[in-house]
Amino acid sequence: MAGFPKDVYYLYQSVWTDKTVLHILPHWNWKIGDSVDVWAYYNHADEVELFLNGKSLGSKKKSGDDLHVMWRVPFTVGTLKAVSKKDGKIVLTKEIKTAGKPAKIELTADRKSIKADGKDLSFITARVVDAAGNIVPDADNLIQFSVKGDAEIAGTDNGLQTSMESFKSSRHKAFNGLALVVVQSKEKEGNVIVTASSQSLQTASLIISTKK
C-alpha cells in the first residue's frame, strides 16, 4: 500500500537478497517507564551492537534459524544507534531518534520531471516531521493536497490497509507520519506546483515539470 516499506520489507531483503541490510525497529517514541523490544534485521555481518544515547547495550549475534536479534530496552528519550560489524569492522550504522511534536510537512517526489502526455505520473511522499526534521512516527494529521498548473491529482494514500478514506480524494490522513499524492500530467508543458497543507503544520510545496 502506497509503496511505503514496512519493517518486514527489510527482513526479506536481509534474508533473500545480496543487498547489505541493517534495520532497527520499532520507532523510538514511547513513554518513560516503557520497556521496548528493539529488533535488528541484518546481513553480511557477524553481529550488531546497540547504543542508547552513546552507551553500549551490548552486541548480539543470530544463531540457528534466527532472522533477527533483540534487546529489551527501558525507554529513554534520545537516539538508538545500531552498528553491524564483520571481523570487527563496521559494515553499516543506522539511527532512530525520539521525535518531537509535528511541526511541518516535507515533500519528496520520485520524479520531478514527467512527460506531458496526459498519462505520466509523479509519486510524491509527504512526511510529517518535527522542528528538527525527524519523522513523527505516530503522526496522523489530515493533509490537504493541491495542484497548480497543467496536472491533476490522480490519487492519495497513506499505506494503512484498513483505511476507509477514498484513494481519489485530494486529502488524506497521514499514517506513521506518511502520506502519498500521485500527480498526473496533462498534455501541456510547464511547471506544476504541488502543495501539502495541514492545520498547525508548516505548509510544503514542490515543483514538477512536464515536458513533451
Which grid cell is 201? 503544520
Examine residue 2 and state whether it is found in any structural domain, yes or no. no
Same domain, 152 and 203: yes
Same domain, 82 and 117: no
Examine residue 30 and state whether it is found in any structural domain, yes or no. yes
Sheet order of strands, 35-42 included: 22-25, 35-42, 69-74
Question: Domain boundary residue among 77, 97, 117?
Answer: 97
Tell me the residue range of the domain where 46 lies: 7-97
Q: How many domains does the chain have?
A: 2
> pLDDT tens, 28-58?
999 999 999 999 999 999 999 999 999 999 9
Task: State whether the Cα torsion 165-167-173-177 is positive or negative.
Answer: positive
pTM: predicted TM-score of the whole model, two decimal places? 0.92
Instruction: Examine the pLDDT at 203 and tell me if it is beyond 90.
Output: yes
> pLDDT tens, 107-138?
999 999 999 999 999 999 999 999 999 999 99
Question: Domain boundary residue among 43, 62, 97?
Answer: 97
Secondary structure class of 164 (helix, strand, coil): coil
